[in-house]
């Protein structure tokens, strides 16, 4: 991988500046993508934006920014001058917020305070205005293979500006697959959000929905890391496979659990689909079970109901997902006293600390967490009990 250091004047970057909202933000005569389409909204607050302009007006250095070369070449000539080809295009990897603060000020969308007065760009004294326009951004331009770039960006980003892991991956694996994936998953009004809003949390513009879908399909198809899947699909014509997968997940949830409850939102549905979609379930039975369990006071974790119902036939300990009520110290002490410190099963004596409160009639058979249903067992007998729940 090669890294070239260049300096670009603010005036040159501002040339051709265009804020197309969700369709992206561009500058530097269209050669620079400051923010790619369907990525997060501006996040610096006014004070932070103003601080960037102050830094420039005081002539202090801003930290180095990083641009990725997405097209064309950057070379050094014999005298070590940087030569940028005419067709070169860049994307800001690190420095998006700082660049946007300056662009916002230059397009009259930001007011700053200087020596006790408020200024928009137009009212700025000539000397300050020319200082701003002639200020040079220090930029590292990186060229290399996608995996080299990603490895390196992951390190750089530790000290840089707040790009999420998925935004970083998106900046490297650009191509038709990503464009199509973003259409489905990354617009604030995208189809994936409309489809899954009731079930899956995540902000499309932060790439959280795309990331969740990718985590899901990677688990299903045996990819260890998202970047491996993206590398495999980077030149695919479209992201139909991922989109189809995501729709399957949601439709499966709607089929298995036909009645919607608000606690269905935020469950790890992709993972549950991957694990259980080949099993068959009767949706009528499921509907009644979901209702019955929601009315069960012994359950303290209603959001565990769905995974419990999906897994209970194969996992005897599935009820732990429900965080069932346990006996109070008072009930346990009372039972311990009544039993005279003797385990109700093995009949051997134990200290209070060596014992656990147990439901005589288990939850699955309708047993409640009441003093009459409490017995003390030694830990060994308790763990051997087959109908623990």
Interacting residues with Zn ion (CB under 5 A): 343, 345-346, 378, 381
Nearest-approach distance from CB 249 to Zn ion, in angstroms = 45
Nearest-approach distance from CB 356 to Zn ion, in angstroms = 10
CA atoms lying within 13 Å on the CB side of residue 389: 16
DSSP H or E run through 355:
strand 355-359
Nearest-approach distance from CB 377 to Zn ion, in angstroms = 6
Nearer to Zn ion, 259 or 346 (CB): 346
DSSP H or E run through 65:
strand 65-71
Nearer to Zn ion, 24 or 362 (CB): 362
Nearer to Zn ion, 218 or 343 (CB): 343
Nearer to Zn ion, 37 or 341 (CB): 341
Nearer to Zn ion, 108 or 379 (CB): 379
Nearest-approach distance from CB 336 to Zn ion, in angstroms = 13
Nearest-approach distance from CB 385 to Zn ion, in angstroms = 10
- Nearest partner of 120 among 100, 105, 99, judged by Cα: 105
- The residues near 126 (Cβ < 8 Å, ≥ 6 apart) are none
Q: Are 246 and 199 within 8 A, CB to CB?
A: no
Q: Strands of 126-236 (E only): list them.
A: 136-143
Nearest-approach distance from CB 205 to Zn ion, in angstroms = 58
Residue 380 CA to residue 389 CA, distance in Å, equals 16
**Structure tokens belonging to residue 372:** 């009459």
DSSP state of 369: S
Residue 351: Cβ within 10 Å count: 9
Nearer to Zn ion, 226 or 343 (CB): 343
């Amino acid at each position: 991988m090669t890294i070239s250091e260049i300096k670009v004047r603010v005036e040159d970057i501002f040339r051709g500046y265009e804020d197309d909202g969700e369709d992206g933000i561009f500058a530097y005569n269209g050669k620079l993508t400051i923010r790619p389409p369907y990525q997060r909204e501006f996040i610096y607050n006014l004070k932070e934006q103003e601080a960037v302009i102050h830094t420039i007006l005081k002539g202090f250095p801003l930290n180095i920014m990083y641009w990725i070369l997405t097209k064309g070449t950057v070379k050094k000539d014999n005298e070590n001058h940087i030569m940028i080809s005419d067709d070169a295009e860049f994307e800001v990897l690190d420095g998006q917020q700082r660049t946007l603060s300056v662009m916002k000020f230059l397009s009259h969308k930001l007011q700053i305070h200087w020596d006790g007065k408020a200024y928009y760009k137009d009212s700025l004294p000539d000397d300050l205005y020319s200082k701003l326009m002639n200020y040079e951004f220090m930029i590292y331009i990186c060229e290399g293979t996608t995996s080299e770039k990603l490895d390196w960006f992951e390190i750089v980003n530790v000290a840089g500006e707040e790009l999420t892991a998925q935004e970083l991956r998106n900046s490297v694996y650009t191509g038709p697959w990503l464009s199509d994936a973003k259409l489905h998953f990354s617009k604030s009004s995208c189809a994936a959000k409309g489809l899954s809003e009731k079930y899956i949390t995540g902000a499309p513009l932060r790439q959280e929905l795309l990331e969740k879908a990718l985590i899901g399909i990677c688990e299903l198809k045996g990819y260890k890391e998202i970047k491996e899947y993206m590398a495999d699909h980077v030149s695919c014509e479209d992201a139909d496979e991922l989109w189809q997968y995501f729709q399957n997940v949601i439709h499966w949830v709607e089929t298995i659990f036909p009645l919607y409850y608000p606690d269905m939102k935020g469950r790890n549905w992709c993972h549950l689909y991957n694990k259980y979609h080949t099993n068959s379930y009767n949706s009528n039975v499921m509907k009644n079970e979901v209702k019955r369990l929601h009315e069960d006071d012994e359950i303290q974790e209603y959001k565990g109901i769905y995974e419990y119902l999906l897994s209970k036939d194969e996992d005897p300990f599935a009820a732990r997902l429900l965080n069932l009520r346990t006996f109070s110290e008072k009930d346990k002490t009372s039972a311990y006293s009544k039993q005279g410190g003797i385990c109700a099963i093995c009949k051997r004596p134990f200290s209070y600390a060596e014992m656990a409160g147990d439901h005589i009639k288990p939850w699955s058979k309708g047993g409640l967490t009441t003093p009459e249903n409490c017995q003390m067992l030694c830990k060994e007998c308790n763990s051997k009990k087959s109908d623990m729940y």
